Amino acid sequence: MITVLRIGHRIGRDKRITTHVALVARAFGADKIIIDTKDSHIEDNVRSICARFGGDFEIKSGVNEKKIIKEWKGTIVHLTMYGEKLNKSIGKIDRNRDLLVIVGAEKVPPQIYEIADFNVSIGNQPHSEVAALAVFLDRYNVGGWQEKHFNGKIEILPSNKGKKVVSKDK
Ligand code: SAM
């Protein structure tokens, strides 16, 4: 079970990027996203995508992130440009334990660096939580997310030309 924890979410300002973090989490094999700040708009948006495109992905906002981190029984990975190189960390993470992947927005509090089992960098340049999460999940799942079936009402058939979409509502 993979849960993504988004911390530092600012309503309004981070609306698009946190939605993208959630959608990347869903598409690349995570089971759930939890967001520190309550944001019903993002919850509704992501749930609406899940309802149409399928899967069991869960979203919850307005959580007490300190409590979640403190009580987490599995592994905690924090994605940060200051972390250890992905190539070095990835093999050390136990795939049999539940995983909490933390991504920030603004400056991340020092306690997160301390409590994480692994502070992992996706390169040591600043970029984006969306990109960092996608690369990390791809490597963690060894690309397996590509074979996942979501069984949604809408299914896109891969095509080299044009759009091929099956709508199961009709
Ligand atoms: N300056 C912030 C800090 O000190 O944490 C980073 C802000 S960055 C825009 C937002 C988030 O993107 C970070 O908290 C981290 O999760 C992720 N991120 C950005 N660059 C990264 C990198 N090179 N490797 C891993 N994660 C990265």
What is the pLDDT at residue 118? 98
Domain boundaries, the chain: 2-167
For the stretch 32-82, pLDDT in tens is 999 999 999 999 999 999 999 999 999 999 999 999 999 999 999 999 999
Determine the Cα–Cα distance for residues 124 and 81; give it in Å rounded to an integer. Answer: 5
Q: What is the DSSP letter of 75?
A: E
What share of the chain in percent tops pLDDT 70? Answer: 99
List CB contacts of 158: < 8 A, sequence separation 6 or more. 164
**Residues with pLDDT less than 50, the chain:** none
Contact, 104 vs 77, CB < 8 A?
A: no
Which of 79, 107, 136, 139 should be mutated for ligand 1, with most atoms under 8 A from CB?
Answer: 79
Ligand 1 atom 2, closest CA:
107
Beta strands across the sheet bearing 32-35 = 58-61, 32-35, 2-6, 99-103, 75-85, 118-121
116 C-alpha to ligand 1 centroid (Å): 15
In this structure, is the dihedral angle defined by the CA atoms of residues 77, 145, 19 and 133, taken in order, positive or negative? positive
2-167 classified as CATH 3.40.1280.10: yes
Q: Which helix (H) or strand (E) holds 156?
A: strand 154-157
CB of 104 sitting under 6 A from ligand 1: yes
Do 101 and 3 touch, CB atoms closer than 8 A? yes
What is the distance between the alpha carbons of residues 39 and 35, in angstroms, rounded to a whole number? 8
Which residue has a Cα nearest atom 14 of ligand 1? 104
Q: What is the pLDDT of residue 170?
A: 52
